[in-house]
């Protein structure tokens, strides 16, 4: 079996958050009243799971925005950058 390649920091962070969520769900299950385990876990994942998904998607979207902004800045022609800089100077004076 080949050695696993290191994961990107974002993915490692995501795995750590998911592990924490699953550990917390274990606590919910362990402390559920007899016959209420499924209902308690369902409620837990509806609230905590939703928050986890929202935060994960928000982080992923932010990463994509930053990536696009970085590549877009690199693709601009020098003339456009010059125009922008000139416009900015005129605003400040």
- Residue 14 domain flag: yes
- The pLDDT-based confidence of 93 (bands split at 50, 70, 90) is very low
Range of the domain at 41: 9-92
CA distances from 44 to 14, 73, 85 (A): 19, 43, 52
Split into its structural domains, the chain has a count of 1
> Would the pTM of this model clear 0.75, i.e. be above it?
no
Q: What's the pLDDT tens digit per position in 45-91?
A: 999 999 999 998 898 898 888 888 787 665 656 666 655 544 445 55
Distance CA 68, CA 66 (A): 6
Mean pLDDT calculated for residue range 33-37: 94
- Residue 2 domain flag: no
- Residue 1 domain flag: no
Contact between 47 and 16 (Cβ < 8 Å): no
- Residue 20 domain flag: yes
């Amino acid at each position: 079996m080949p050695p696993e390649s290191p994961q990107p920091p974002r993915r490692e962070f995501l795995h750590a958050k998911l592990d924490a969520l699953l550990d917390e769900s274990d606590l919910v299950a362990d402390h559920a009243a007899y016959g209420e385990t499924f209902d308690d876990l369902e409620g837990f994942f509806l609230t905590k799971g939703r928050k986890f998904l929202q935060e994960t998607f928000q982080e992923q979207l932010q990463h994509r925005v930053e990536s696009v902004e970085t590549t877009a800045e690199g693709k601009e022609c020098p003339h456009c950058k010059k125009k922008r800089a000139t416009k900015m100077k005129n605003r400040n004076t």
